[in-house]
Amino acid sequence: MDSDSDVPMDGAPSPIAAPAPLFSSGKGKGKAPADGLDPPSALSDNLPWVEKYRPVSLDDVVAHKDIISTIEKFIDLNRLPHLLFYGPPGTGKTSTILAMARRIYGPEYRKQILELNASDDRGIDVVREQIKNFAEMRTLYSKGFKLIILDEADMMTQAAQSALRRVIEQYTRNVRFCIICNYVNKIIPAIQSRCTRFRFSPLPQKEVEKRVMQVVEAEHCNLTEDGKQALLKLSKGDMRRALNILQACHAAYERIDETAIYNCTGNPHPSDIEAIVSSMMNDEFSTSYQKVSRMKTEKGLALQDLIAGAYEYLDSLELPPQTRVYLLDHLATTEHRLSTGGNEKVQLTALLGAIKNGVELAAH
Ligand SMILES: Nc1ncnc2c1ncn2[C@@H]1O[C@H](COP(=O)(O)OP(=O)(O)OP(=O)(O)O)[C@@H](O)[C@H]1O
C-alpha cells in the first residue's frame, strides 16, 4: 500500500496519535516499539492509561478473536468491505480499527485515514463536505483504498446518515468506511446493509484481568487481591473503565484495595449495602429508617446507588421465589420513580415498607 506523506491532511493526527506503547504482546513488554513511534517518555507519562496502553497491533486486542481473524483475512485478500462495529463502550471497537489501519498502512497510517467522532460537527454538511473532500482528494494521490472512520455514528442525524449512504456508494472504489457505534438500531437500515457487521460484546473478566495485570506491573501499582476483584466487578467488561479506575486509584492511594476502589469510584461499599439492607429487613421500621438515613448522609450515598447495590446483594441471599420477585419489582419501581423526579425521602420510606412486606411474605 502506498504511503503518500506529502498529501495535505484533513484528518490531522490528534496529539495522542503516536503514544509510546509500553508493550505489545508478542513483541516484548517495555521494548521501544518497532514502528518508529516515540519511545516511552514524559509524553507517555502524561497520557491517560487508556491511550498509553491502547493496543498497537491486532494481536494486542484482547478477546474478539473471531472478529480479528475475519478482518485479517479481509486484509490479506485485499477485500476489505465497509465495516460496522457496534457494542458497548470500552470493548475495543476503535482500538481494533486503528490497529487494522496500522497493519494496512504502517506507521504513517494516520495520513491515510479520516477519523470523525461525536465531538465533530455531525450534521449533513460534514457528510457532504468533509468526507467528500477527503474521499476525492485522496484518490488523486494514492492507489488502493483510504479509510474513513466514523466513531459514535449513532449520534449522527438521520439526514446525515441518509447523505452518507450516497457518499458510501459513490466512493466505494477507493474508500472503505468503518462505522462505529454503541447502538446499532440507531443506524439506518440502508447503511447497515452496505456494511459487514461485527458485534463487540463486553470483555470476559479473565481478559480484562490479564490486561489490567500487565498495566499494574508496568506502572508498579500496589493492587491487592480484593482490590482487583472489586475493579473487575465494577468495570463490567469495559476495559476503558477498568484502566481509568485503576489510574485514578493509583494517583490517590499507595495501596489499592477494595475500599480504595469503591471510594474512588463513588460506588457504595458492599459492606455498607449489606448493613443497610439487613437493617431494612430486620430492624423495626423507624429505627431502620433513621439508621439508613444516617448512613446515606455519612457515606454520601444516593438512593439510586443503594438500589443498584441492593439489587446485587439480594442476588446473594436465599429467598423464596415469590419474595424475591416482590422485592425486585419494588426496587425497579422505586428506581423508575426516582428517575422521573420522585422525592428521595418518600421513595426511601416506600422502599423500606416494601422490604418489610417482603420479609413478612417470606415468613408465611
Ligand atoms: N479488546 C481490547 N483489548 C485491549 N485493550 C482494550 C480493548 N478494548 C478496550 N481496550 C482499552 O480501552 C480503551 C478504550 O477502547 P476503545 O476506544 O477501543 O473502545 P470502544 O469500544 O471504541 O469504546 P466506545 O464505544 O466508547 O468508543 C483502549 O484505549 C484500550 O486501552
Return the pLDDT at 20.
37
Candidates 3.30.1490.120, 3.90.1150.10, 1.10.8.60, 3.40.50.20; CATH matching 205-265: 1.10.8.60
Residue nearest to atom 16 of ligand 1 (CA): 92
Return the pLDDT at 33.
39
Ligand 1 centre to CA of 221 (Å) is 21
Ligand 1 centre to CA of 201 (Å) is 12
pLDDT tens track for 68-97: 999 999 999 888 999 999 999 999 999 999
pTM higher than 0.80, yes or no? no
Task: Say how far apart CA 98 and CA 105 lie, in whole Å.
Answer: 10
CATH class of 270-363: mainly alpha
Pocket of ligand 1 (CB under 6 A): 50-51, 53-55, 61-64, 89-95, 151, 182, 200, 203, 211, 239-240, 243
Residue nearest to atom 26 of ligand 1 (CA): 89
User: What are the residue boundaries of the structural domains of the chain, listed by start?
Assistant: 42-199, 205-265, 270-363
Ligand 1 centre to CA of 56 (Å) is 12
Residue 123, pLDDT above cutoff 90: no
- CATH topology for 42-199? Rossmann fold (3.40.50)
DSSP 303-353: HHHHHHHHHHHHHHS---HHHHHHHHHHHHHHHHHHHTT--HHHHHHHHHH
Say what the ipTM of the complex is: 0.96
Percent of the chain with pLDDT over 70: 83
Residue nearest to atom 8 of ligand 1 (CA): 92
Return the pLDDT at 120.
63
pLDDT band for 43, please (50, 70, 90 cuts). Answer: low
Residue nearest to atom 9 of ligand 1 (CA): 92
pLDDT tens track for 153-184: 888 888 888 888 888 888 888 889 999 999 99
Ligand 1 centre to CA of 296 (Å) is 34
